[in-house]
């Protein structure tokens, strides 16, 4: 069966510090991978998605970047965090770029920038 791992679960970082959140998927090949951010009481904002190694699409220009160094690994990074980067970050995967398949989510990372 497929599983998705995302870590860490919680993170408190000072303003101006770097960020690296990692997500890995097991049990499937060539998944579509996604990074979302969810503000308190709000919906999911798509940040980045990837349909293959090295292929990254950015939905919202901001202080973050993403990379996919391996087929089942997706990394969200920042060189210098801002207070506005605080939020709940979710990694997700689904199969089939051009198919209607459900997305499966990692446990999420609660990031607080102080």
Partner 1 sequence: GQNIDQPTEMTATEGAIVQINCTYQTSGFNGLFWYQQHAGEAPTFLSYNVLDGLEEKGRFSSFLSRSKGYSYLLLKELQMKDSASYLCAVMDSNYQLIWGAGTKLIIKP
- 11: helix, strand or coil: strand
* Tokens standing for residue 108: 């999420």
Task: Tell me how far, at minimum, the Cβ of 76 lies from partner 1, in Å.
Answer: 15
Of 11, 13, 28, 44, the one binding partner 1 (CB under 8 A) is 44
Question: For partner 1, what does the binding mask look like between residues 3 and 42, x meaning CB under 8 A?
Answer: --------------------------------------xx
Establish if 58 lies at the interface with partner 1 (CB under 8 A): no
- The torsion angle over the Cα atoms of residues 6, 10, 15 and 18, rounded to 10 degrees, is -30
Establish if 81 lies at the interface with partner 1 (CB under 8 A): no
Pairing of strands 44-52, 32-38: antiparallel
Establish if 99 lies at the interface with partner 1 (CB under 8 A): yes
Task: Tell me how far, at minimum, the Cβ of 102 lies from partner 1, in Å.
Answer: 5
Q: Which of 111, 84, 104, 107 has the alpha carbon at shortest distance from 2?
A: 104
Task: Tell me how far, at minimum, the Cβ of 105 lies from partner 1, in Å.
Answer: 4
- Residue ranges binding partner 1 (CB under 8 A): 41-44, 46, 49, 88, 90, 96-100, 102-108, 110
């Amino acid at each position: 069966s497929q599983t998705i791992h995302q870590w860490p679960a919680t993170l408190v970082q000072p303003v101006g510090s770097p960020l690296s959140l990692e997500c890995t998927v097991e049990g499937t090949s060539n998944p579509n991978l996604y990074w979302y951010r969810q503000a308190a009481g709000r919906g999911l904002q798509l940040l980045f998605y990837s349909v293959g190694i090295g292929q990254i699409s950015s939905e919202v220009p901001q202080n973050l970047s993403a990379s996919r160094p391996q087929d089942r690994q997706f990394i969200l990074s920042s060189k210098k965090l801002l207070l506005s980067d605080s939020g709940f970050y979710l990694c997700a995967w689904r199969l089939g770029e051009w198919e209607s398949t459900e997305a499966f989510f990692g446990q999420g990372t609660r990031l607080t920038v102080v």
